[in-house]
Structure 1
Protein backbone atom coordinates (compact mmCIF):
# COMPACT_ATOMS: atom_id res chain seq x y z
CA UNK A 1 0.00 0.00 0.00
CA UNK A 2 1.29 3.48 -0.89
CA UNK A 3 2.05 6.31 1.48
CA UNK A 4 -0.55 8.86 2.57
CA UNK A 5 -0.61 12.60 3.14
CA UNK A 6 -3.22 14.96 4.56
CA UNK A 7 -3.16 18.57 3.36
CA UNK A 8 -4.47 20.96 6.01
CA UNK A 9 -5.01 24.70 5.99
CA UNK A 10 -6.29 25.57 2.50
CA UNK A 11 -9.80 26.28 1.24
CA UNK A 12 -9.83 22.76 -0.20
CA UNK A 13 -9.69 20.87 -3.48
CA UNK A 14 -10.43 22.06 -6.03
CA UNK A 15 -10.50 25.70 -4.98
CA UNK A 16 -9.32 28.89 -6.70
CA UNK A 17 -9.01 31.22 -3.73
CA UNK A 18 -5.28 31.95 -3.74
CA UNK A 19 -1.72 30.68 -3.96
CA UNK A 20 -2.14 27.81 -1.50
CA UNK A 21 -5.09 26.51 -3.50
CA UNK A 22 -3.16 26.80 -6.76
CA UNK A 23 -0.42 24.70 -5.21
CA UNK A 24 -2.90 22.05 -4.07
CA UNK A 25 -4.52 21.80 -7.51
CA UNK A 26 -1.08 20.93 -8.91
CA UNK A 27 0.44 18.96 -6.05
CA UNK A 28 -2.45 16.66 -5.12
CA UNK A 29 -2.82 14.93 -8.52
CA UNK A 30 0.98 14.80 -8.85
CA UNK A 31 1.28 12.90 -5.58
CA UNK A 32 -1.54 10.53 -6.56
CA UNK A 33 0.29 9.81 -9.82
CA UNK A 34 3.31 8.83 -7.74
CA UNK A 35 1.47 6.37 -5.54
CA UNK A 36 0.28 8.53 -2.65
CA UNK A 37 -3.12 8.57 -1.04
CA UNK A 38 -3.97 12.28 -0.83
CA UNK A 39 -6.60 13.74 1.50
CA UNK A 40 -7.26 17.47 1.18
CA UNK A 41 -9.30 19.24 3.85
CA UNK A 42 -11.48 22.16 2.84
CA UNK A 43 -14.40 24.45 3.47
CA UNK A 44 -17.76 23.59 1.89
CA UNK A 45 -18.41 27.12 0.63
CA UNK A 46 -15.08 27.32 -1.21
CA UNK A 47 -14.97 24.00 -3.06
CA UNK A 48 -16.71 23.04 -6.30
CA UNK A 49 -17.07 19.28 -6.13
CA UNK A 50 -18.55 19.27 -9.64
CA UNK A 51 -15.59 21.03 -11.23
CA UNK A 52 -14.87 19.17 -14.49
CA UNK A 53 -11.13 19.53 -13.88
CA UNK A 54 -11.30 17.85 -10.47
CA UNK A 55 -9.24 14.68 -10.13
CA UNK A 56 -11.56 12.10 -8.53
CA UNK A 57 -8.58 10.23 -7.08
CA UNK A 58 -7.93 13.10 -4.65
CA UNK A 59 -10.02 12.71 -1.50
CA UNK A 60 -11.72 15.99 -0.55
CA UNK A 61 -12.93 16.13 3.05
CA UNK A 62 -15.07 19.04 4.24
CA UNK A 63 -14.94 20.00 7.91
CA UNK A 64 -16.63 22.67 9.99
CA UNK A 65 -15.31 25.99 11.17
CA UNK A 66 -16.15 29.65 11.66
CA UNK A 67 -16.42 31.57 8.40
CA UNK A 68 -15.01 34.75 9.86
CA UNK A 69 -11.94 36.58 8.64
CA UNK A 70 -9.92 36.30 11.85
CA UNK A 71 -10.99 32.80 12.92
CA UNK A 72 -11.59 30.77 9.76
CA UNK A 73 -8.03 29.48 9.38
CA UNK A 74 -7.55 28.23 12.92
CA UNK A 75 -11.06 26.80 13.37
CA UNK A 76 -11.06 24.88 10.10
CA UNK A 77 -7.46 23.92 10.81
CA UNK A 78 -8.49 22.48 14.18
CA UNK A 79 -11.31 20.32 12.83
CA UNK A 80 -9.09 19.17 9.96
CA UNK A 81 -6.28 18.20 12.34
CA UNK A 82 -8.72 16.27 14.54
CA UNK A 83 -10.07 14.33 11.56
CA UNK A 84 -6.58 13.60 10.25
CA UNK A 85 -5.38 12.45 13.67
CA UNK A 86 -8.36 10.24 14.45
CA UNK A 87 -9.76 9.04 11.13
CA UNK A 88 -6.91 9.02 8.61
CA UNK A 89 -3.60 8.73 10.49
CA UNK A 90 -1.50 9.66 7.43
CA UNK A 91 2.21 9.10 7.02
CA UNK A 92 2.71 12.87 6.92
CA UNK A 93 0.67 16.08 7.09
CA UNK A 94 1.33 19.08 4.87
CA UNK A 95 0.12 22.11 6.82
CA UNK A 96 -0.40 25.44 5.11
CA UNK A 97 -0.35 28.68 7.11
CA UNK A 98 1.60 29.10 10.35
CA UNK A 99 -1.60 29.99 12.21
CA UNK A 100 -2.25 26.24 12.25
CA UNK A 101 0.88 25.75 14.35
CA UNK A 102 -1.40 25.41 17.38
CA UNK A 103 -2.52 21.98 16.13
CA UNK A 104 0.92 20.51 15.38
CA UNK A 105 1.30 18.95 18.87
CA UNK A 106 -1.97 17.07 18.30
CA UNK A 107 -0.66 15.60 15.06
CA UNK A 108 2.73 14.83 16.60
CA UNK A 109 1.12 13.04 19.54
CA UNK A 110 -0.45 10.68 17.02
CA UNK A 111 2.90 9.98 15.40
CA UNK A 112 2.22 12.15 12.33
CA UNK A 113 5.21 14.20 11.11
CA UNK A 114 4.37 17.64 9.76
CA UNK A 115 5.66 19.82 6.95
CA UNK A 116 4.57 23.44 7.33
CA UNK A 117 4.58 25.83 4.39
CA UNK A 118 5.65 29.21 5.79
CA UNK A 119 4.16 31.99 3.69
CA UNK A 120 5.13 35.48 4.76
CA UNK A 121 5.02 37.25 8.12
CA UNK A 122 1.28 37.56 8.56
CA UNK A 123 1.33 39.40 11.87
CA UNK A 124 2.92 42.39 10.16
CA UNK A 125 0.24 42.77 7.49
CA UNK A 126 -2.00 45.82 7.89
CA UNK A 127 -5.17 43.99 6.91
CA UNK A 128 -5.22 42.13 10.23
CA UNK A 129 -6.44 43.58 13.50
CA UNK A 130 -4.73 43.32 16.87
CA UNK A 131 -6.31 40.00 17.83
CA UNK A 132 -5.57 38.35 14.48
CA UNK A 133 -1.97 39.55 14.56
CA UNK A 134 -1.52 38.09 18.03
CA UNK A 135 -2.96 34.77 16.86
CA UNK A 136 -0.64 34.65 13.86
CA UNK A 137 2.40 35.48 15.99
CA UNK A 138 1.53 32.80 18.56
CA UNK A 139 0.83 30.29 15.77
CA UNK A 140 4.19 31.08 14.19
CA UNK A 141 5.90 30.48 17.52
CA UNK A 142 4.15 27.12 17.84
CA UNK A 143 5.12 26.26 14.26
CA UNK A 144 8.78 26.99 14.94
CA UNK A 145 8.63 24.82 18.05
CA UNK A 146 6.66 21.82 16.82
CA UNK A 147 6.91 21.46 13.02
CA UNK A 148 8.94 18.52 11.78
CA UNK A 149 10.03 20.37 8.64
CA UNK A 150 9.58 23.92 7.35
CA UNK A 151 9.22 24.97 3.72
CA UNK A 152 9.86 28.54 2.57
CA UNK A 153 8.84 30.09 -0.73
CA UNK A 154 11.59 32.72 -0.75
CA UNK A 155 15.17 32.87 0.45
CA UNK A 156 14.54 36.19 2.20
CA UNK A 157 11.73 34.62 4.21
CA UNK A 158 13.95 31.66 5.10
CA UNK A 159 16.61 34.03 6.41
CA UNK A 160 14.02 36.01 8.39
CA UNK A 161 12.60 32.92 10.03
CA UNK A 162 16.03 31.54 10.77
CA UNK A 163 16.90 34.78 12.55
CA UNK A 164 13.62 34.82 14.49
CA UNK A 165 13.31 31.17 15.46
CA UNK A 166 16.59 29.47 14.75
CA UNK A 167 14.81 27.06 12.42
CA UNK A 168 16.17 26.26 8.98
CA UNK A 169 14.05 24.70 6.28
CA UNK A 170 13.73 23.82 2.61
CA UNK A 171 13.41 26.53 -0.02
CA UNK A 172 10.88 25.73 -2.75
CA UNK A 173 9.95 28.66 -5.03
CA UNK A 174 6.38 29.19 -6.13
CA UNK A 175 5.65 27.44 -9.40
CA UNK A 176 3.30 27.97 -12.27
CA UNK A 177 1.98 26.37 -15.41
CA UNK A 178 3.35 27.87 -18.60
CA UNK A 179 0.95 28.21 -21.51
CA UNK A 180 1.94 29.51 -24.93
CA UNK A 181 -1.20 28.82 -26.94
CA UNK A 182 -4.69 27.42 -26.77
CA UNK A 183 -7.77 28.52 -24.81
CA UNK A 184 -7.62 29.61 -21.22
CA UNK A 185 -8.45 26.97 -18.60
CA UNK A 186 -12.15 26.62 -17.97
CA UNK A 187 -11.90 27.91 -14.38
CA UNK A 188 -10.16 31.07 -15.58
CA UNK A 189 -12.76 31.73 -18.27
CA UNK A 190 -15.53 31.02 -15.79
CA UNK A 191 -14.24 33.47 -13.18
CA UNK A 192 -12.66 36.31 -15.11
CA UNK A 193 -13.16 35.84 -18.80
CA UNK A 194 -9.45 36.56 -19.25
CA UNK A 195 -6.41 34.36 -19.92
CA UNK A 196 -4.06 33.67 -17.00
CA UNK A 197 -1.10 35.99 -16.53
CA UNK A 198 2.33 34.33 -16.22
CA UNK A 199 3.45 36.21 -13.11
CA UNK A 200 4.64 35.08 -9.71
CA UNK A 201 2.26 35.13 -6.74
CA UNK A 202 1.50 38.76 -5.83
CA UNK A 203 4.23 39.76 -8.29
CA UNK A 204 6.87 39.64 -5.54
CA UNK A 205 8.70 36.38 -6.07
CA UNK A 206 9.74 36.59 -9.70
CA UNK A 207 8.44 34.60 -12.65
CA UNK A 208 6.75 31.26 -11.99
CA UNK A 209 8.82 28.12 -12.08
CA UNK A 210 7.73 24.88 -13.78
CA UNK A 211 5.90 22.65 -11.32
CA UNK A 212 8.60 20.39 -9.94
CA UNK A 213 8.21 19.23 -6.31
CA UNK A 214 11.60 18.82 -4.68
CA UNK A 215 10.86 17.91 -1.06
CA UNK A 216 10.97 14.14 -0.64
CA UNK A 217 9.47 12.51 2.43
CA UNK A 218 11.02 9.18 3.29
Structure 2
Protein backbone atom coordinates (compact mmCIF):
# COMPACT_ATOMS: atom_id res chain seq x y z
CA UNK A 1 0.00 0.00 0.00
CA UNK A 2 1.41 3.42 -0.93
CA UNK A 3 1.50 6.44 1.37
CA UNK A 4 -0.43 7.82 3.30
CA UNK A 5 0.33 4.85 5.58
CA UNK A 6 3.84 5.65 6.80
CA UNK A 7 6.38 4.60 9.41
CA UNK A 8 4.37 1.59 10.58
CA UNK A 9 6.40 -0.26 13.25
CA UNK A 10 7.10 -3.93 12.76
CA UNK A 11 6.05 -6.45 15.39
CA UNK A 12 7.26 -9.96 16.08
CA UNK A 13 4.92 -12.91 15.75
CA UNK A 14 5.10 -13.50 19.52
CA UNK A 15 4.14 -9.94 20.43
CA UNK A 16 1.50 -9.79 17.73
CA UNK A 17 -0.15 -12.93 19.10
CA UNK A 18 -0.86 -11.32 22.47
CA UNK A 19 -4.28 -9.62 22.57
CA UNK A 20 -4.34 -6.03 23.75
CA UNK A 21 -6.79 -4.03 25.83
CA UNK A 22 -7.35 -0.86 23.78
CA UNK A 23 -9.43 2.18 24.73
CA UNK A 24 -10.57 4.91 22.33
CA UNK A 25 -11.61 8.24 23.83
CA UNK A 26 -12.31 11.79 22.74
CA UNK A 27 -15.23 10.95 20.41
CA UNK A 28 -18.97 11.04 20.98
CA UNK A 29 -19.05 7.24 20.85
CA UNK A 30 -20.34 4.40 18.72
CA UNK A 31 -22.29 3.58 16.69
CA UNK A 32 -21.23 6.55 14.61
CA UNK A 33 -23.89 9.25 14.60
CA UNK A 34 -22.04 12.55 14.53
CA UNK A 35 -18.82 12.90 12.51
CA UNK A 36 -15.71 11.24 11.15
CA UNK A 37 -13.99 10.43 14.43
CA UNK A 38 -17.02 8.40 15.49
CA UNK A 39 -16.88 6.39 12.26
CA UNK A 40 -13.14 5.98 12.78
CA UNK A 41 -13.66 4.66 16.32
CA UNK A 42 -16.31 2.22 15.14
CA UNK A 43 -14.48 0.86 12.10
CA UNK A 44 -11.08 0.57 13.78
CA UNK A 45 -12.55 -0.78 17.02
CA UNK A 46 -14.67 -3.44 15.33
CA UNK A 47 -11.74 -4.70 13.27
CA UNK A 48 -9.47 -4.87 16.30
CA UNK A 49 -12.15 -6.92 18.09
CA UNK A 50 -12.28 -9.29 15.10
CA UNK A 51 -8.53 -9.79 15.56
CA UNK A 52 -8.96 -10.82 19.18
CA UNK A 53 -8.33 -7.55 21.01
CA UNK A 54 -10.52 -6.04 23.69
CA UNK A 55 -11.75 -2.58 22.72
CA UNK A 56 -13.52 0.01 24.86
CA UNK A 57 -14.95 3.25 23.49
CA UNK A 58 -15.85 5.99 25.95
CA UNK A 59 -18.92 7.85 24.67
CA UNK A 60 -21.20 10.71 25.63
CA UNK A 61 -24.55 9.82 27.13
CA UNK A 62 -26.66 11.94 24.71
CA UNK A 63 -25.16 9.96 21.81
CA UNK A 64 -24.73 6.42 23.18
CA UNK A 65 -27.41 6.19 25.88
CA UNK A 66 -27.03 5.58 29.60
CA UNK A 67 -26.37 1.83 29.67
CA UNK A 68 -23.15 0.00 28.99
CA UNK A 69 -23.50 -2.25 25.99
CA UNK A 70 -21.63 -3.83 23.13
CA UNK A 71 -21.68 -2.66 19.54
CA UNK A 72 -19.91 -4.82 16.94
CA UNK A 73 -17.97 -6.36 19.82
CA UNK A 74 -16.85 -2.99 21.19
CA UNK A 75 -17.64 -2.25 24.83
CA UNK A 76 -19.36 1.14 24.88
CA UNK A 77 -18.95 3.01 28.17
CA UNK A 78 -21.34 5.97 28.53
CA UNK A 79 -19.94 8.96 30.38
CA UNK A 80 -22.15 11.77 31.63
CA UNK A 81 -21.04 15.36 31.28
CA UNK A 82 -22.27 18.92 30.73
CA UNK A 83 -23.53 20.10 27.34
CA UNK A 84 -22.22 23.23 25.68
CA UNK A 85 -20.12 24.42 22.76
CA UNK A 86 -17.01 25.22 24.77
CA UNK A 87 -17.04 22.89 27.77
CA UNK A 88 -18.64 19.68 26.49
CA UNK A 89 -15.57 18.16 24.83
CA UNK A 90 -12.93 18.87 27.51
CA UNK A 91 -15.27 17.98 30.37
CA UNK A 92 -16.28 14.71 28.76
CA UNK A 93 -12.66 13.83 28.04
CA UNK A 94 -11.65 14.54 31.62
CA UNK A 95 -14.50 12.41 32.98
CA UNK A 96 -13.62 9.63 30.49
CA UNK A 97 -10.06 9.69 31.78
CA UNK A 98 -11.26 9.23 35.37
CA UNK A 99 -13.52 6.39 34.20
CA UNK A 100 -10.60 4.71 32.43
CA UNK A 101 -8.68 4.47 35.71
CA UNK A 102 -11.07 1.70 36.79
CA UNK A 103 -9.61 -0.45 34.01
CA UNK A 104 -6.12 -1.60 33.07
CA UNK A 105 -5.86 -0.65 29.42
CA UNK A 106 -2.68 -1.46 27.53
CA UNK A 107 -3.14 1.42 25.09
CA UNK A 108 -5.38 4.49 25.02
CA UNK A 109 -5.99 6.21 21.67
CA UNK A 110 -7.20 9.77 22.19
CA UNK A 111 -8.81 11.69 19.33
CA UNK A 112 -8.26 15.42 18.72
CA UNK A 113 -5.38 17.58 19.98
CA UNK A 114 -7.88 19.63 22.01
CA UNK A 115 -8.05 16.65 24.40
CA UNK A 116 -4.30 16.40 24.97
CA UNK A 117 -4.54 17.95 28.45
CA UNK A 118 -5.94 14.63 29.72
CA UNK A 119 -3.12 12.42 28.41
CA UNK A 120 -1.26 12.11 31.75
CA UNK A 121 -4.45 10.99 33.48
CA UNK A 122 -5.18 8.35 30.84
CA UNK A 123 -1.66 7.02 31.33
CA UNK A 124 -1.73 7.09 35.13
CA UNK A 125 -2.19 3.31 35.46
CA UNK A 126 0.52 2.48 32.95
CA UNK A 127 -1.38 2.62 29.65
CA UNK A 128 0.60 3.76 26.65
CA UNK A 129 -1.05 6.79 25.08
CA UNK A 130 -1.45 7.80 21.44
CA UNK A 131 -3.27 10.83 20.07
CA UNK A 132 -4.59 11.45 16.58
CA UNK A 133 -4.20 15.21 16.44
CA UNK A 134 -6.88 15.74 13.74
CA UNK A 135 -6.72 18.92 11.64
CA UNK A 136 -5.49 22.37 12.57
CA UNK A 137 -8.71 23.12 14.42
CA UNK A 138 -7.56 26.49 15.72
CA UNK A 139 -8.15 27.77 12.17
CA UNK A 140 -11.87 26.99 12.29
CA UNK A 141 -13.90 30.16 12.06
CA UNK A 142 -16.30 29.12 14.82
CA UNK A 143 -13.63 29.56 17.50
CA UNK A 144 -12.79 32.83 19.21
CA UNK A 145 -9.43 33.84 20.60
CA UNK A 146 -9.65 31.61 23.68
CA UNK A 147 -10.71 28.61 21.61
CA UNK A 148 -7.82 29.10 19.19
CA UNK A 149 -5.41 29.36 22.10
CA UNK A 150 -6.78 26.10 23.56
CA UNK A 151 -6.18 24.27 20.29
CA UNK A 152 -2.69 25.73 19.97
CA UNK A 153 -1.89 24.50 23.49
CA UNK A 154 -3.36 21.12 22.54
CA UNK A 155 -0.93 20.82 19.65
CA UNK A 156 1.99 21.46 21.99
CA UNK A 157 0.72 19.13 24.71
CA UNK A 158 0.08 16.34 22.19
CA UNK A 159 3.76 16.40 21.31
CA UNK A 160 4.92 16.71 24.91
CA UNK A 161 2.69 14.20 26.69
CA UNK A 162 1.60 11.49 24.25
CA UNK A 163 3.77 8.42 23.88
CA UNK A 164 2.87 8.58 20.19
CA UNK A 165 1.23 11.56 18.48
CA UNK A 166 0.16 10.89 14.90
CA UNK A 167 -1.95 12.31 12.11
CA UNK A 168 -4.06 11.06 9.21
CA UNK A 169 -2.73 13.23 6.35
CA UNK A 170 0.68 14.09 4.96
CA UNK A 171 -0.26 17.77 4.71
CA UNK A 172 -0.77 17.76 8.49
CA UNK A 173 2.52 15.95 8.95
CA UNK A 174 4.09 18.79 6.93
CA UNK A 175 2.36 21.38 9.14
CA UNK A 176 3.75 19.82 12.33
CA UNK A 177 7.20 19.60 10.76
CA UNK A 178 7.16 23.27 9.73
CA UNK A 179 5.47 24.75 12.81
CA UNK A 180 6.58 22.42 15.63
CA UNK A 181 9.71 20.87 14.07
CA UNK A 182 8.61 17.28 14.68
CA UNK A 183 7.96 14.41 12.29
CA UNK A 184 4.67 12.61 12.93
CA UNK A 185 3.74 9.21 11.54
CA UNK A 186 0.73 9.18 9.24
CA UNK A 187 -2.04 6.60 9.31
CA UNK A 188 -4.83 7.45 6.92
CA UNK A 189 -8.58 7.17 7.18
CA UNK A 190 -10.38 4.22 5.59
CA UNK A 191 -13.31 3.37 3.39
CA UNK A 192 -14.80 0.07 2.27
CA UNK A 193 -17.32 -0.90 -0.38
CA UNK A 194 -19.94 -3.37 0.72
CA UNK A 195 -23.56 -4.22 -0.01
CA UNK A 196 -25.56 -1.10 -0.75
CA UNK A 197 -29.28 -0.46 -0.21
CA UNK A 198 -31.48 -0.09 -3.26
CA UNK A 199 -32.40 3.20 -4.96
CA UNK A 200 -35.88 2.96 -3.45
CA UNK A 201 -34.52 3.39 0.07
CA UNK A 202 -36.64 5.70 2.27
CA UNK A 203 -33.71 8.11 2.58
CA UNK A 204 -34.36 8.96 -1.07
CA UNK A 205 -38.08 8.42 -1.42
CA UNK A 206 -39.12 10.53 1.57
CA UNK A 207 -37.55 13.54 -0.16
CA UNK A 208 -38.71 12.66 -3.67
CA UNK A 209 -35.15 11.97 -4.86
CA UNK A 210 -34.27 9.87 -7.90
CA UNK A 211 -31.03 7.96 -8.36
CA UNK A 212 -28.46 9.93 -10.35
CA UNK A 213 -30.49 13.15 -10.29
CA UNK A 214 -29.17 15.11 -7.31
CA UNK A 215 -25.97 16.71 -6.03
CA UNK A 216 -24.88 15.89 -2.49
CA UNK A 217 -22.94 17.78 0.17
CA UNK A 218 -22.24 16.22 3.58
CA UNK A 219 -20.84 17.77 6.74
CA UNK A 220 -21.57 19.64 9.92
CA UNK A 221 -23.26 22.94 9.11
CA UNK A 222 -20.40 25.10 10.31
CA UNK A 223 -18.71 27.97 8.44
CA UNK A 224 -15.47 26.20 7.50
CA UNK A 225 -17.45 23.42 5.76
CA UNK A 226 -18.89 26.04 3.40
CA UNK A 227 -22.44 24.78 2.99
CA UNK A 228 -23.49 28.40 2.52
CA UNK A 229 -21.08 28.84 -0.40
CA UNK A 230 -22.38 25.65 -2.03
CA UNK A 231 -26.02 26.68 -1.66
CA UNK A 232 -25.27 30.11 -3.10
CA UNK A 233 -23.31 28.67 -6.03
CA UNK A 234 -26.10 26.22 -6.78
CA UNK A 235 -28.40 29.08 -7.75
CA UNK A 236 -26.41 29.34 -10.98
CA UNK A 237 -26.65 25.63 -11.82
CA UNK A 238 -29.31 25.12 -14.50
CA UNK A 239 -32.08 22.54 -14.33
CA UNK A 240 -34.33 21.09 -11.65
CA UNK A 241 -31.79 18.73 -10.10
CA UNK A 242 -32.00 18.86 -6.28
CA UNK A 243 -29.07 19.75 -4.04
CA UNK A 244 -29.17 17.52 -0.94
CA UNK A 245 -27.51 18.94 2.18
CA UNK A 246 -26.81 16.25 4.79
CA UNK A 247 -25.67 17.33 8.24
CA UNK A 248 -26.40 19.45 11.26
CA UNK A 249 -24.51 21.21 14.06
CA UNK A 250 -25.62 21.55 17.68
CA UNK A 251 -24.26 25.05 18.31
CA UNK A 252 -24.51 26.85 14.96
CA UNK A 253 -28.11 28.06 14.79
CA UNK A 254 -27.25 31.44 13.27
CA UNK A 255 -25.17 29.91 10.50
CA UNK A 256 -27.79 27.24 9.78
CA UNK A 257 -30.38 30.00 9.42
CA UNK A 258 -28.12 31.75 6.89
CA UNK A 259 -27.76 28.59 4.84
CA UNK A 260 -31.50 27.96 4.77
CA UNK A 261 -32.23 31.57 3.84
CA UNK A 262 -29.86 31.34 0.88
CA UNK A 263 -31.35 28.11 -0.48
CA UNK A 264 -33.61 28.02 -3.52
CA UNK A 265 -36.53 25.62 -3.91
CA UNK A 266 -34.30 22.78 -5.16
CA UNK A 267 -32.29 22.48 -1.94
CA UNK A 268 -33.25 19.61 0.38
CA UNK A 269 -32.05 19.67 4.02
CA UNK A 270 -32.09 16.18 5.54
CA UNK A 271 -30.37 16.83 8.85
CA UNK A 272 -27.98 14.14 10.06
CA UNK A 273 -28.34 10.80 8.27
CA UNK A 274 -26.39 7.68 9.24
CA UNK A 275 -26.17 4.00 8.42
CA UNK A 276 -28.05 2.64 5.42
CA UNK A 277 -29.74 5.96 4.71
CA UNK A 278 -26.39 7.70 4.43
CA UNK A 279 -25.05 4.94 2.16
CA UNK A 280 -28.07 5.23 -0.09
CA UNK A 281 -27.80 9.01 -0.43
CA UNK A 282 -24.10 8.74 -1.24
CA UNK A 283 -24.39 5.79 -3.63
CA UNK A 284 -27.12 7.27 -5.84
CA UNK A 285 -25.95 10.88 -6.00
CA UNK A 286 -25.01 12.41 -9.34
CA UNK A 287 -22.03 14.13 -7.72
CA UNK A 288 -20.54 14.88 -4.32
CA UNK A 289 -19.30 18.32 -3.22
CA UNK A 290 -16.27 18.41 -0.89
CA UNK A 291 -16.42 22.04 0.23
CA UNK A 292 -14.46 21.98 3.50
CA UNK A 293 -11.36 24.07 4.03
CA UNK A 294 -9.88 22.85 7.34
CA UNK A 295 -8.90 19.36 8.47
CA UNK A 296 -6.91 16.35 7.37
CA UNK A 297 -8.40 13.40 5.55
CA UNK A 298 -12.12 14.17 5.49
CA UNK A 299 -14.03 10.92 6.19
CA UNK A 300 -17.02 11.76 3.98
CA UNK A 301 -14.65 12.47 1.10
CA UNK A 302 -13.07 9.01 1.39
CA UNK A 303 -16.56 7.51 1.53
CA UNK A 304 -17.56 9.45 -1.59
CA UNK A 305 -14.50 8.06 -3.36
CA UNK A 306 -15.32 4.56 -2.21
CA UNK A 307 -19.04 4.22 -2.96
CA UNK A 308 -20.26 7.56 -4.27
CA UNK A 309 -22.52 7.46 -7.29
CA UNK A 310 -20.84 10.20 -9.30
CA UNK A 311 -17.79 12.43 -9.64
CA UNK A 312 -16.44 14.60 -6.84
CA UNK A 313 -16.33 18.39 -6.99
CA UNK A 314 -13.74 19.62 -4.48
CA UNK A 315 -12.60 22.88 -2.96
CA UNK A 316 -9.02 23.28 -4.16
CA UNK A 317 -7.17 23.03 -0.84
CA UNK A 318 -4.05 20.92 -0.12
CA UNK A 319 -6.00 18.37 1.96
CA UNK A 320 -8.29 17.57 -0.97
CA UNK A 321 -5.47 17.48 -3.50
CA UNK A 322 -3.63 14.99 -1.33
CA UNK A 323 -6.59 12.65 -1.04
CA UNK A 324 -8.00 12.98 -4.56
CA UNK A 325 -5.00 13.48 -6.80
CA UNK A 326 -6.45 14.18 -10.25
CA UNK A 327 -9.65 12.18 -9.73
CA UNK A 328 -11.99 15.15 -9.18
CA UNK A 329 -13.15 18.49 -10.52
CA UNK A 330 -11.55 21.27 -8.44
CA UNK A 331 -12.80 24.80 -7.91
CA UNK A 332 -11.62 28.01 -6.28
CA UNK A 333 -14.35 30.55 -6.97
CA UNK A 334 -18.12 30.43 -6.74
CA UNK A 335 -18.34 30.61 -10.54
CA UNK A 336 -16.01 27.63 -10.90
CA UNK A 337 -18.10 25.65 -8.41
CA UNK A 338 -21.31 26.41 -10.32
CA UNK A 339 -19.68 25.43 -13.61
CA UNK A 340 -18.28 22.17 -12.19
CA UNK A 341 -21.66 21.17 -10.78
CA UNK A 342 -23.32 21.89 -14.11
CA UNK A 343 -20.74 19.66 -15.85
CA UNK A 344 -21.59 16.77 -13.55
CA UNK A 345 -25.11 16.73 -14.96
CA UNK A 346 -24.26 17.58 -18.58
CA UNK A 347 -21.15 15.41 -19.11
CA UNK A 348 -21.95 11.92 -17.74
CA UNK A 349 -19.09 10.25 -19.61
CA UNK A 350 -16.48 12.48 -17.98
CA UNK A 351 -18.21 11.97 -14.65
CA UNK A 352 -17.96 8.20 -15.01
CA UNK A 353 -14.23 8.46 -15.73
CA UNK A 354 -13.62 10.57 -12.63
CA UNK A 355 -15.74 8.27 -10.47
CA UNK A 356 -13.73 5.23 -11.62
CA UNK A 357 -10.45 7.03 -10.95
CA UNK A 358 -11.56 8.02 -7.46
CA UNK A 359 -12.61 4.47 -6.60
CA UNK A 360 -9.32 3.06 -7.83
CA UNK A 361 -7.42 5.60 -5.74
CA UNK A 362 -9.48 4.79 -2.64
CA UNK A 363 -8.91 1.05 -3.14
CA UNK A 364 -5.18 1.66 -3.29
CA UNK A 365 -4.75 4.18 -0.49
CA UNK A 366 -7.73 4.16 1.89
CA UNK A 367 -8.70 0.69 3.10
CA UNK A 368 -9.87 0.01 6.64
CA UNK A 369 -8.02 -3.30 6.87
CA UNK A 370 -4.72 -1.60 6.01
CA UNK A 371 -5.51 1.20 8.47
CA UNK A 372 -6.14 -1.44 11.15
CA UNK A 373 -2.88 -3.20 10.29
CA UNK A 374 -1.00 0.03 10.91
CA UNK A 375 -2.74 0.84 14.19
CA UNK A 376 -2.41 -2.72 15.45
CA UNK A 377 1.32 -2.71 14.77
CA UNK A 378 1.67 0.68 16.43
CA UNK A 379 -0.28 -0.42 19.52
CA UNK A 380 1.79 -3.59 19.91
CA UNK A 381 5.01 -1.59 19.70
CA UNK A 382 3.73 0.98 22.21
CA UNK A 383 2.54 -1.67 24.66
CA UNK A 384 5.81 -3.55 24.43
CA UNK A 385 7.79 -0.36 25.08
CA UNK A 386 5.55 0.58 28.00
CA UNK A 387 5.89 -2.86 29.59
CA UNK A 388 9.66 -2.69 29.15
CA UNK A 389 9.79 0.69 30.86
CA UNK A 390 7.84 -0.67 33.85
CA UNK A 391 9.93 -3.84 34.25
Smaller-chain TM-score bracket: 0.7 to 0.9
Deviates more, 1:91-100 or 1:195-204: 195-204
Higher relative contact order (CA 8 A, sep 6+): 2
Name the SS for the 1:17 alignment partner: coil
Structure-2 separation of matches of 1:4 and 1:151: 20
Cα deviation for residue 180 of structure 1 reads: 7.0
Cα deviation for residue 179 of structure 1 reads: 4.2
Name the SS for the 1:80 alignment partner: helix
Deviates more, 1:93-102 or 1:181-190: 181-190
Native 8 Å contact 1:123 1:133 kept in 2 = yes
Cα deviation for residue 17 of structure 1 reads: 0.7
Cα deviation for residue 110 of structure 1 reads: 2.4
Change (3 A) 1:194 1:126: same
The total of aligned residue pairs comes to 214
Q: Which digits, 9 at most, give the CA deviation of each residue in 1:168-217, with x for residues without a partner?
A: 22211221122475447994345696245788536433354121221312
Structure-1 separation of matches of 2:143 and 2:89: 13
Name the SS for the 1:32 alignment partner: helix
Native 8 Å contact 2:176 2:184 kept in 1 = no
Q: 1:160 aligns with which of 175, 178, 183?
A: 175
- Give the greater-gyration-radius structure (CA): 2
**1:150-189 residue pairs with structure 2 within 5 A?**
150-179=165-194, 181-183=196-198, 187-189=274-276
Residue of structure 1 in register with 2:89 after alignment: 73
Structure-2 separation of matches of 1:48 and 1:142: 31
Structure-1 separation of matches of 2:169 and 2:193: 20
The runs of 5 or more residues in structure 1 that have no matched partner are: none
Residue 40 in structure 1 maps to residue 197 in structure 2 = no
RMSD: 2.8
The runs of 5 or more residues in structure 2 that have no matched partner are: 1-17, 204-272, 291-297, 302-319, 325-357, 381-391
